[in-house]
Structure 1
Amino acid sequence: MENITQPLNETFITKYLSAADYNPTHDAMLERTLERIALKKEQGVRTPDELWIVDHNDVYTLGQAGKEEHILQRTDTPIIKTDRGGQVTWHGHGQLVVYWLFDLHSLGWSVRNLVSHAEQAIEDVMNECLQDSDVSKSDNISAHARRDAPGVYLYADMPEPDSHADMQINDTPDDDKIMLGKMASLGFKIKHGFSYHGIAVNLNCDLSAFNAINPCGYAGMQMLRLSDFVTMQKAPSAQDTQQISNALSYEQVTQKLIDNIAKRHAGLIELRALAPK
Structure 2
Amino acid sequence: MQAFTRQRVPGTQDQLWLLEHAPVYTLGQGADVLHLLNSQNISVVRSDRGGQVTYHGPGQLMFYLLADLRALGIGVRALVESLEQAVIALLSEFDIAGSGDRAAPGVYVEGAKIAALGLRVSRGCCYHGLCFNYQLDLSPFSGINPCGYENLPVTDLATLLAAKPQYALPTRQVLAARLTEQLRCKLNYQATSQVQLSWPHPSIEA
Counterpart code for 1:53: L
Q: How does 1:1-277 map to 2 (within 5 A)?
A: 29-36=1-8, 40=9, 45-129=10-94, 131=95, 141-155=96-110, 179=111, 181-230=112-161, 246-266=168-188
Give the C-alpha shift of residue 128 in structure 1: 1.1
Moved over 6 A (4+): none
Kindly tell me the number of residue pairs found equivalent between the two proteins. 186
Counterpart code for 2:6: L
8 A Cα contact 2:15 2:67, kept in partner = yes
Counterpart code for 1:249: T
Give the C-alpha shift of residue 265 in structure 1: 3.0
User: What SS is found at the alignment partner of 2:61?
Assistant: strand
Distance in 2, matches of 1:266 and 1:117, equals 10
Partner of 1:159 in structure 2? Answer: none
User: What SS is found at the alignment partner of 1:56?
Assistant: coil
Q: Which one has a bigger Cα radius of gyration?
A: 1
Distance in 1, matches of 2:168 and 2:98, equals 22
User: What SS is found at the alignment partner of 1:142?
Assistant: coil
Give the C-alpha shift of residue 74 in structure 1: 2.7
Unaligned runs of 5+ in 2: 191-206
Counterpart code for 1:207: L
Give the C-alpha shift of residue 266 in structure 1: 2.8
For normalisation by structure 1, the TM-score amounts to: 0.65
Deviation digits for residues 179-214 of structure 1, max 9, x if unmatched? 3x1111001000000000010111001000101000
Counterpart code for 1:146: D
Give the C-alpha shift of residue 76 in structure 1: 1.4
User: What SS is found at the alignment partner of 2:98?
Assistant: strand
User: What SS is found at the alignment partner of 2:93?
Assistant: helix
Distance in 2, matches of 1:247 and 1:148, equals 30
User: What SS is found at the alignment partner of 1:98?
Assistant: strand
Give the C-alpha shift of residue 143 in structure 1: 0.7
Distance in 2, matches of 1:74 and 1:55, equals 19
8 A Cα contact 2:97 2:109, kept in partner = yes
Deviation digits for residues 89-127 of structure 1, max 9, x if unmatched? 011100011011000001101111110100100110012
Distance in 2, matches of 1:251 and 1:230, equals 17
Counterpart code for 2:7: E
Distance in 2, matches of 1:185 and 1:246, equals 23
Distance in 2, matches of 1:80 and 1:247, equals 31
Counterpart code for 2:77: R
Deviation digits for residues 56-103 of structure 1, max 9, x if unmatched? 111100001100100111321111111000000011100011011000
Distance in 2, matches of 1:75 and 1:146, equals 29
Distance in 1, matches of 2:103 and 2:168, equals 36
